[in-house]
Structures are given as structure tokens and as C-alpha cells.
Structure 1
Amino acid sequence: MEILSADFFQRALAGGLMIGITTPLIGIFLVLRRLSMIGDTLAHVTIAGVALGFLVGVYPVGVGLIFAIVASFAIERLRKTYKGYAELSIAIIMSGGVALASLFFTMGMGYNTDVTSYLFGSIFTLETKDLYVALFVTVVVAVVVFLLFKEFFLLTFEEDAAAVSGLPVKLLNILLTVMTALVISTAIKFVGALLISALLTIPAACSLLIARSFKTSVVFSVTIAEIAVVLGLMISGIWNLAPSATIVLLLICMLILTLLGKRGFSA
């Protein structure tokens, strides 16, 4: 258990706990609005930004963050243009993100190994600046969700009613999408672009099975994510396993157990 006192593990644990708060907080709204795939979309766009950051010698996560925010505005604009086909905006932006990432990959073959760490996550290699960025995003997301919880609740379940009641629906949609971009662009170095969607959706999927209200579903979602992160990091650190994969597999196991428990209780 010496690993628990190691600096790299403590940084990973601190970063993981912060990501365990922000991803389910945003994920519960995305799942209920049937926008679960937006996580994969913004993750691919962020990877394109990360690749460009390595190419031009600028902080990769920062460039990825800019790409993700721009993409979030584009998604919201396209979602309004194709009101009856909201998923179309996600597919279009994802295609562009993959194309740009492929282009930047070929332009900078020498840094492909570094970019790959962002695809699968490298939480045990976090630097202090990564934690500061994660802390900033965590505070912003937590404060905004707390202050606008009722507005986001109404927006999630009755967007038309929210507009009729005078809420700034357009602004709220943009704000939620931008926060999603912030969370994803920050979290990809922790769990990787290919696995970030699991932290956004699986805790929400578990909580929706057992929660009796929206507030409790948010609490359960965050709790489930934190448990998976802590246990995943400890298991991967002790047995030298891939931390991101361990966390995601634990989440899947928790979902299976929740489904079995729900089925058994119903029976």
C-alpha cells in the first residue's frame, strides 16, 4: 500500500475526485436530454485541439479546450437549425473533429505517442497545472449547477415550458453545452477521449434506476462516479493495471449490479 503515499498517486486521486464530480453533474442533464453522444463528439474535437497544441508547441489541454468550446457553439447552432434532428448536429461536428485530428496526426508524426495518452488517459502522469485546471472547472461547474439548478431542471424536462415562462432558454442551452466542453476537454487527460463518455453516462444510468427524484439522481450519480474513481485508482495502482479502463469496467460492473438488484427487487 506504499503507493497511497506516492506523489503521483495523490495527484491522480485529487484529479480523479474532481472529475468524479463534474462529469456526472453534466452527464445527468445530457442523458435526460438524449444528448449522450455529445460527450464522444466533443472528446474527438478536443483531441484535434490537443494534436494542434503539440504541433505548435502550446499547452495541449488549453488548445483542446478552445476547440471544444467552439464546437459546443456549433452544435447548439446546428441543433436549432435542425430542430427535429438534434442528433444530426452531433454527427456533423464529430466528423469534423475526427477529420481535423487525423490531419494534425499526419502533420506531426513525432508526437503521436504523446497524443495517444490523451486517447486512453494518463491520470498517473498528471502535473500540478492539470490539477489547477481541473479545480477551476470543478468550481465553475458546481457553482453554476447549484445556482441554476431549477432552471436547468425545467430546461431538461420541458424546454418549451421554460421558454414560455420567460427563461433565457438559448443562453441556458449554450451555458450547458459550454460547461460540457469544459468538463470533457479537462477530463480527457484523466480518463481519455475514448472512455470519457462512460463517466458522463454510466453513473447517470445507474442513478436513474434507483433514484426517486431528480435531486437524488444527481447525488447518486456523483456518488457512484466517486466510488468508481477511488476504487479504480487503488486497484490499478496496486495491481499495475490501466487506471482509465479499470474505472470504466468498475462502472459497468456497478451498472450490472444495479440492474440485477432492481430486477430482483421488482420480482
Structure 2
Amino acid sequence: MNFKHTLIASSLALTVLAGCSSAPDEVVVAEQSAVESQYLEAKNLLIEGNYVRAAEILSALDASFPFGPYSHQIQLDLIYSYYKTDNTSQALASIDRFLKLNPTHTDIDYVYYMRGLTNLKAAKNALQEMVGIERFDRDITEHREAFSDFNKIVIDYPESQYAKDARQRMIYTKNFIAKSELAVAEYYMRRSAYVAAANRAKYVLENLGDTDQVENALEMMLVSYDQLELTDLYDNTYQVLKLNYPDNPLVN
């Protein structure tokens, strides 16, 4: 993946401030020279993939020079460093701070994109990753946040270089949310809580109807209404299932 703000080393020009006294000027120049030197070191570390050390340097620079001429780029690179080192809590905190302080920054689409990626990474369970499976019966707050972040790019920054990938990630995220809702519905069905199960499945049908979970949702609604002896709702659901999925096993 191409992250223009982190993988392209730039040549930084020193800004020499004019003044009446040469001593303060020399201090400013020396300070800026030190910042430039450390920042370029961090950029090289990012290119080399040494994200931990890069994050250490960038974090120190951000703390010492939060309003300097390189502050925005330092903060953007720090966000990426935190993301690459799986430090999602720090990444999200840095992202939210940047959005609050720089709502009109020219790279704000990139920041929202990184927020979406970071929320998705935060949602991953380490144990599930190790065994190579996905679970849908857990909290999906981060998935909802990620969907909102990617949607923000698509709606507000449609010409962004990140818009295309954001759309694809929205599809994945929305489908995951739908699966999670139906996992809860399944849980209710196993406990004969058919009203709750039907409501969860209906939510998927009404709010996540453009995912690949519609057929499963209709099946759960049909079984639940049958168990509840809600004839009208059963008949209506049956007709919808038959019309859209004529080969479904529940359709005679």
C-alpha cells in the first residue's frame, strides 16, 4: 500500500529568522537544524521499516516541537508509525488530536483513511489471528467506526486517492457487521428467544440489505415467525425468500 506521507523522504529547507540580535538567531537555526536532522533520521527509519525506532524519534519531536515548521508532517508520520507497530490506541489518539486541531488540512483525507485502517486493526483479536479464523459474535464498535471513517472519505472527498480503497473496505466492513448481527440472532434462536432473533435478522434486512447476508436473514426471520406462529409475517417473509432465492431449501 502506498503511503505518500511516510515512505517518501523529502528535502527540508531551513528557515532562518531575521532579527536584531545574532545570538537568538543562532539558537533558532541550531534548534531547527537539530529538528531537521532527527526528522530525516526518522524518515529513513520508516523507509527501512524500523517503525518502532521511528515512532520513538517522532514522538519525542512532537512533544518538544508541537508547533514547529515540521509539526504537521511529524504528526502524520507518527500516526503511521503507531499504526505499523500495532499501537492502535496511540494512533487513534494522535489521529483525533490532529483532526481536532487541523480540520481543514490538505491531507485530512489521509488522516481519515488512517483512522479507518487503525479502527479495523484495533478490531482484530490476537487469538483469532493466530488460529486463522474470524468471529462475528463479539463487539463490533471498531468496525462501525471504521465504516464511518471510510464513508467520510467517499462522501466528502470523492476525488481522494484513498476513495477507491475506502469503498472496497466499506463493503468488507458492512458485510462483517451483518454477519455479526446474524451471529447474535443465531444465539437468540438457540435459546428460543425468537422475537429477539427475528428483530436482529430484520435489522440486517432493512439496514444492511446490500450485503451477502440477506438470504440468511430471511431464513432466520422465517424460522422465528414459524416458531412464534405469526402467520402473516411468516407468509410475507416466505414470499420474499421465494422470489429472491427460489432455490433456498426452505422454499418448497
Question: TM tier, shorter chain?
Answer: under 0.3
TM-score, with length taken from structure 1: 0.24
Q: Which has the higher Rg, Structure 1 or Structure 2?
A: 2
More helix by share: 1
